[in-house]
Amino acid sequence: MPDYLPEDKIKSKIIIGTRGSELALWQANYVKDLLAGIGLDSELKIIKTQGDKILNLSFDKLEGKGFFTKELEEELLNGTIDLAVHSHKDLPTNHPEGLIIAAVSDREDPAELLLILKDCVDVQQKLSVKFGGMIGTSSNRRKAQLLAIRPDLEIEELRGNVITRIQKLRDEKYDAIMLAKAGVLRLGLDLSEFYIEELEPNELIPAPAQGVLAYQIRENDTALFEKLQAINNHDIAEQIGIERKVLNLFEGGCQMPLGCYCRKDGSTFQIWTSKAADGTDFPDRLFTQTETADGIAEKIVAKFADDRKFPMNIFITRELSESSYLRNALAKHQIEIDGRSLIRTFPYINKLDPFILRNIDWVFFSSKNAIEYFFKLDPQLPKKVKFGVLGRASEDALRLHGKKADFNGEEEGIDTLDIAKEFAKQANGTTILFPSAKGSLKTIQKALAAETKIIELTVYETVSEENVQQSNAEVLIFTSPSNVDSYFAENLLEPDQKVICIGKTTGQKFDDMGVKYTLPFSPDEMGLAEAIFALD
């Protein structure tokens, strides 16, 4: 490396190093415009990387790390460029001596997009891809998480830049492909020819730092460093710092089947992590909340230690099918399951008055049972009606009836009141039908404005089972307040048993009992798997 003197003056023209793909050039020109905004003139230099040259091998078969970054870093060190623009997720966690990340961009939406050929769509299936469909992706992280949700899918290698990948889908070499939403948004692509399924980052966990750009310079270029602080997003740097520290502690690169996503809710860091041994391994998932970033990456990585102990058995107040996500997640660690509902449900009405369905704009479901009993009534709904649900479990139940949720409250968190407020922003002033259980708490309804027309429809009722058998399982999972009532009518909680609840209303029962419990972020089987994995 040349022996540079400290640079206390900025060059009259900054040379920006970039790859030559459409997305890389967009990113470099974006930075060029930012530099102009802070009074710096710049020009681009296109550099070809190993990842651009070798397109016939998957990432896990390429040697080393930094497939899309090494050549840019070498030119920085040689002084032929002054600033390299990277997709931050492509960077190894250990930088070459003499280089630093001077600043990072705002974070573009880190969600994943599944682009599906329209004749390969089946909305009754999770992810909306037909049974046994072929999905193209070069990422082991995506592959492992996709197969955990849909083990019937065929995952095939897909390399090339964004435009090339989309063209391969157009050519029907795949039934669907997966892309980062950030790249699609940055390029402003029109994808209306495809059916698009969006997977939120707490469902399919993205790569560390996905959606963020890194601005890399020489460490001794102090004047440029100071100037770049004007375009540095310090909050995002802190959040992806956690993600990248997790990656570093796992000693992984972009080929590792690791997802890690951090965001802030007020002052609280919310962190989702997914890790598999390879692209075919069922991934372990963890959700963590903390008020401080100090030491949290180390705590996350410790949860994935090979020698950690899991509960031997779990009781859940729901029957689990052989294909259920939770059953497969627990089977990986030889955890026994006792799954049985402690309540019975019955239809409350057997015939639906068609008059109440006239002119409705929304149907909102707060449970899977409400969906099942509502559609048993064979409702003739207006064509433009929209559907709202509380979470993924209800969304999956809605899919079985060929319907897609237009509002899913899961992204708003575990507080039903917060979900209600977000739904109100979309639905206030409309006519909303609420199929529900007898005695429903009506939390969503209470948050709606006075001008909103609310139609209540009781479609089922619950009855508790009698003589419920005590469980000696190490962990008890309760899926509804009624199941709590049924279990504790005759049983007590043993001292060492741990409790997990689905929903705050279920948790309220244990608040009243003075019992500590865990509330998963997502009120579904994926959230339950995360909560079990987080137990000490």
Phi and psi at 314, nearest 5°, equal -140, 140
Query: What 3-state class would DSSP assign to 215?
Result: strand
List the one residue out of 108, 58, 54, 99 whose CA is nearest residue 76. Answer: 99
Query: How far does CA 486 lie from the centroid of its chain?
Result: 34
CA 314, CA 332: separation in Å to the nearest integer?
A: 14
Candidates 8, 33, 60, 90; catalytic one: 90
Whether residue 7 contacts residue 82, with contact meaning beta carbons closer than 8 Å, is answered with no
List the one residue out of 395, 391, 416 whose CA is nearest residue 508. Answer: 416
- DSSP annotation of 283 reads P
Query: How far does CA 59 lie from the centroid of its chain?
Result: 23
The beta-strand segments (E) located in 145-249 are: 154-156, 176-180, 195-199, 213-218
Burial class (CB in 10 A: 0-12, 13-18, 19+), 367: buried
- DSSP annotation of 73 reads H
Question: Edge to edge, what strands does the sheet with 112-116 contain?
Answer: 154-156, 134-136, 176-180, 112-116, 195-199
Pairs from 406-415 (Cβ < 8 Å, separation ≥ 24): 406/362, 407/364, 410/200, 410/202, 410/522, 410/523, 410/524, 411/200, 411/202, 413/265, 413/521, 414/504, 414/519, 414/520, 414/521, 414/523, 415/504
Integer angstrom CA distances of residue 407 from 164, 304, 404: 32, 33, 9
Which residues are 202's β-sheet partners? none
**Is position 307 annotated as part of the catalytic site?**
no
CA 469, CA 206: separation in Å to the nearest integer?
A: 42
CA 99, CA 516: separation in Å to the nearest integer?
A: 48
- Residues with a known catalytic role: 90
